[in-house]
Amino acid sequence: MLSILGFALVLIPLVIVHELGHFTFAKIFKVRADAFSIGFGPVLFAKKIGETDFRVSAIPLGGYVKLLGEDPNSELSPEEKVRALHHQAPWKRFFIFFGGPLFNFLWAIVVFMAMMAIGEPQISTKIGRILNDSTAAKAGLIAGDKITAVDGEAVLKFEDLAMKILDKPGREIVLKVEHDPESKISPNSTELKVKTDSEEGFSIYGEKKQVGTIDGIIPNARMTKVGVSNPDSAAAKAGFQIGDEVIAIGGEKVKTFEQLEAVYRSWMVTNDLRTKSPVTFDVKTNSGDKKITVPFMNAYSGDLGKDFGLYSSELFVEQTIADSPAAKAGIQKNDHLISVNSIPVRSFFELRMNIQKSGEDKGKVSVTLERAGKMETFEIVPQVSTERDPLLKKMKQFTIGVMPVLSMFDPDTIKEQVWNPFKLLYLGTARMFDLTAKNLISIGKMIQGQVSVKSLGGPILIGKLAGDSINRGLIDFLKMMGILSIGLGVLNILPIPVLDGGHIVLLVIEAIRGKALSLKQVEIAQQVGLFFILGIMVIVMKNDISRLPIFN
């Protein structure tokens, strides 16, 4: 239902804007517009205003403006010829044909300006978490770091960071990093050399290729919710329970689990006296705030799990999904997931990744967990679901059906907000030209066979994307509208007869020849263009149908 609503809210304004472009220039040059229709097919509603019949038609996949003299065979009186389309000078007809795409490009600028005036929240380059033993961890990045430049080029948003790395798979890059002031690391700023990871992905133009990433960077930090799974551990004996939140450790306040770990580890470096005596935690529990003092059962190691049996709650089971493989195997609430196929997992990301890999390789998975201080191992056949990648290739997803006590903060964001009208106009126009260029390059690569036609989408894909954007909020919805407006403009300027671009090409030929093509030549060109458009429509609809869940 949301997809249908999204489709209507996005496409109808774009159709109105496009046809309004043709209509406006027709009016400027005094060409008579007999009809202005939103949609094709049977007319559902019509109202005549002046000389134009404004209509709403049954098939909402486009629209049209019917101009006097569009049909060269029509018989016109001398008075009508003055206002007929094909009796206008070529330069006037150019603007009438180009008016539709032009208004789509202008509308995209207006939409992008509105987004920037409202304020566009973007994920910043501040790192919430670094996964253990990952590329990022080995390079020296730590939670709380903010990446400010890649190879000397400034980055403010996580999207910018990803784009800078995308075209550098397996290459050494230099990151400029600012440490979190709360980390008290000196100097505050440093440069780190990182060799990027390489994985299969897509370029900004839609080409399937190896792309660069830095494994282990997570924008979201974990909350300080903890879990205990061994009743004989120091933490459990002191009174810790699953879901308790740590507010401070040894008198030092912490906001994230990453800070909690960092503060506790730092005592090793400073040879802190707190490593010699019981550690006091300020804790938020279901029954209120309290202090819990935990004695060392072994020598201080800098690891909360080893020293106290205290872990992040992310690998503790909140619940198993009914009738899921995990539920049938006997996994229970509060179980602490330890390893997959004897490989230790230290994050929910690793758990999910290892289950996926085991499902792909073996079709089954061995999960070891701790329950009430005892280790138990379960052999599980994962549930398989099928999705499609952007090129419609089926991808199998392997899951076992556990939901963790995983509490993560929203990532750090920056809000880009511009109110200066001249700067808004400049930035909106620049974004429009950038996306237009990328669209045209993608089409060029598609013609060369470098980008698959399977990446094309039609009404079903537009509806899904629009519906998803509504779910994410106004800014995402506006962004989707701006992108689709540019896509509609680019599509219509393609030099294909029956499209606006095809009409413009015929005008250019007319200007070069000094006379218009014959009616027969125009008909042949239009038939070729129509055949081409129908071929594209068949591909698009096939792609759309393939994306429907019933075919997955």
Taking the C-alpha atoms of residue 485 and residue 106, their distance in angstroms, rounded to an integer, is: 9
Q: What are phi and psi of 535, to 5 degrees?
A: -60, -45
- Give the integer Cα–Cα distance in Å for 270 and 522: 84
Helix or strand holding residue 191 (H, E): strand 189-195
Strands in 189-195's sheet, in edge-to-edge order, are 153-154, 146-150, 172-178, 189-195
Q: Report d(CA 422, CA 125) in Å as an integer.
A: 28
User: Taking a C-beta distance cutoff of 8 angstroms, is the pair 449, 82 a contact?
Assistant: no
Query: For residue 425, what are its two tokens?
Result: 């106009």
Say how far apart CA 455 and CA 205 lie, in whole Å: 10
Pair 503, 97: CB distance under 8 Å: yes
**302 CB burial (10 A radius; 0-12, 13-18, 19+):** middle
- Assigned token pair, 311: 């872990």
Environment class of 136 (CB within 10 Å of its CB; exposed 0-12, middle 13-18, buried 19+): buried
The H or E element containing residue 293 is: strand 288-294
Give the pair of three-digit tokens for residue 319.
Answer: 């619940």
Could you tell me the two tokens for 141? Answer: 């990045």
Q: Yes or no: say if 469 and 479 are a contact pair by the CB < 8 Å rule.
A: yes
Give the separation between CA 456 and CA 104, rounded to whole angstroms.
20
Rounded to whole angstroms, how far apart are CA atoms 86 and 316?
73
Local structure of residue 198 (DSSP, 8 states): E
Write down the catalytic residue from 19, 120, 178, 258. 19
Length of the chain measured in residues: 552
SS (H, E, C) 494-514: CCCCCCHHHHHHHHHHHHHHC
Residue entry with tokens 């390059």: 441
Buried-state track 176-198, b at ≥16 Cβ within 10 A, e below 16: bbbbbeebebeeeeeeeebebbe
Cα separation, 298 vs 277, whole angstroms: 11
Provide the token pair at 438. 């990328």
| 19 is known as an active-site residue | yes
CA-based nearest residue to 432, from 111, 97, 15: 111
150 bridge partner residues: 153, 175
Encoded tokens for 390: 């952007």
Catalytic residues: 19
